[in-house]
Amino acid sequence: MPEESTARRTPVFQWHRRAGGRLVEFAGWELPVQYERGVLAEHRAVREAAGLFDVSHMGEIWVRGSGALELLQRLTPNDVGRLTPGRAQYSALLTERGTIIDDLLVYCLAEDRYLLVVNAANTAIDLQRITDYCGADSEVDDASERTALFALQGPLAADILGPLVDAETGSLESFSFVEAEVAGVPALISRTGYTGEDGFEIYLPTEQALVVWETLMDAGRRCGMEPIGLGARDTLRLEAGLMLHGNDIDDTVTPLEAGLGWVVKLRKGDFIGRSALVEQKRRGVSRRLVGLELEGRRIARQGASVFRGDERVGTVTSGSWSPTLERAVAMALVDARSVSEDGALELEIRGKRTAARRVNLPFYRREPR
> Where exactly are the structural domains of the chain?
1-283, 286-369
SS3 category, 31: strand
Class of domain 286-369: mainly beta
CB 57 within 8 A of CB 8: yes
Backbone angles phi, psi at 18, to 5 degrees: -65, -30
The listed CATH number (3.30.1360.120, 2.60.40.10, 1.10.3720.10, 3.40.50.2300) that belongs to domain 1-283: 3.30.1360.120
> What amino acid occupies position 219?
A
Looking at the chain, the number of H-run helices and the number of E-run strands are 8, 19
Say which residues have a Cβ less than 8 Å from residue 151's Cβ, sequence separation at least 6: 52, 53, 55, 193, 194, 195, 199, 200, 201, 202
* Interatomic CA distance for residues 208 and 178, integer angstroms: 19
pLDDT in tens, 261-282: 999 999 999 999 999 999 999 9
Nearest to 331 by CA among 214, 278, 253: 253
| Banded model confidence at residue 124, pLDDT cuts 50, 70, 90 | very high
CB 70 within 8 A of CB 133: no
Q: Could you give the dihedral angle defined by the CA atoms of residues 84, 149, 101 and 236, in that order, rounded to the nearest 10 degrees?
A: -100
pLDDT in tens, 76-96: 999 999 999 999 999 999 999
Instruction: Tell me how far CA of residue 274 lies from CA of 74, 90, 157, in angstroms.
Output: 10, 17, 39
| Banded model confidence at residue 341, pLDDT cuts 50, 70, 90 | low
Helices 39-48 and 230-239: angle between axes, nearest 10 degrees: 50
Alpha helix (H) ranges present in 84-156? 123-133
pLDDT in tens, 144-164: 999 999 999 999 999 999 999
